[in-house]
Amino acid sequence: MIKLLLKTGLACALLGASIAPAAAQEKPRTILFVGNSFTYGGHSAVHYYRGDAVTDLNNERVGGMPALFKTFTEQAGLNYNVSLETIGGQGLDRHYQTKRAVLNRAWDVVVLQGHSMLDRNQPGDPRLHVANAALLAAMFTAANPAVDVELIATWARADMVYKKKGPWLGKPVTVMTADLRAASDLAKRSSRDIDGVIPVGEAWTRAMGEGVADPNPYDGKPFGQVDLWTYDQYHGSTYGYYLEALMVFGKITGVDPRTLGDKERAADELGISPSEAVALQRVAYEQLAKG
């Protein structure tokens, strides 16, 4: 409760009732993204998109999904200093073990993204994810008691659903999505320092359910639908990362993603058509409104 009262302009409060525009800010808010290739936009044009607009703490010149977030905030008239620290193929445990010296400072907002299977050695087991999300959140809260720590519940992997042996083979995409969301919800319940969960995976399945995106990339893409996965059916495509960034933008800032509109700059620069951008913005709005 004390931590919640310390915060100002939180998206979680704004989205509790409705998604409303945030007020213009004079002092930049600092936001840190901690994650992996799902954060830096692996295997897509998003990977090095606007690397000069954000600060890569690993000095790898990555732009990624954080740069999309930055672009959205600029168009919304908001002032954010955006930083990221990413390690491909790793969960939150690797960041806690090896990057604390880089990460441990006062931030206004921190967005954490864990491994796509929760535990790379024991797919589907949430314990490692839950424990290290809590450790990182506690560290950030010690540095700034008012920090907003958000945890991304990521998308299901088509390769794990349709092709590879594991706990999700042969099950609907929604099952893996629900398992990933449940793990992040468990992490939030287990730690007073984690403030919210961003349901990116559920935005993906919503896009599929509404006919915006193809639910099975192995059986051919229906006309007029986008593929949220890239060529490996594991990482996101440009469309997938765009939807992810819209979800983060709406959750963190409280701004309705639909206000970005059909002339949204990042979509145009990345080859997403105006109609596709608007459709993905609508999906993000609807999922954020649901929670």
Please work out, in degrees rounded to the nearest 5, the angle formed at the alpha carbon of residue 225 by the alpha carbons of 219 and 227: 65
Q: Is the pLDDT of residue 151 over 50?
A: yes
DSSP string, 187-215: HHHH-TT--EEEEHHHHHHHHHHTTSB-S
Q: Residue 169 carries which DSSP code?
A: T
Segment 83-108 mean pLDDT: 98
Where residue 7 falls among pLDDT bands split at 50, 70, 90? very low
What is the reported pTM? 0.93
pLDDT digits (tens, 9 = 90+) for 267-282: 999 999 999 999 999 9
pLDDT digits (tens, 9 = 90+) for 244-259: 999 999 999 999 999 9
Segment 57-81 mean pLDDT: 98
Residue with tokens 């808010």: 29
Sheet architecture: strand order including 55-56:
55-56, 80-86, 29-35, 109-113, 148-153, 196-199
Domain spans of the chain?
A: 29-289
For 6, the enclosing helix (H) or strand (E) is helix 2-6
CATH class of 29-289: alpha beta
Q: What is the pLDDT of residue 100?
A: 98
pLDDT digits (tens, 9 = 90+) for 125-150: 999 999 999 999 999 999 999 999 99
Segment 46-66 mean pLDDT: 98
Chain centroid to CA 8? 21
pLDDT digits (tens, 9 = 90+) for 24-53: 457 999 999 999 999 999 999 999 999 999
Q: What phi and psi values does residue 152 have, to the nearest 5 degrees?
A: -80, 125
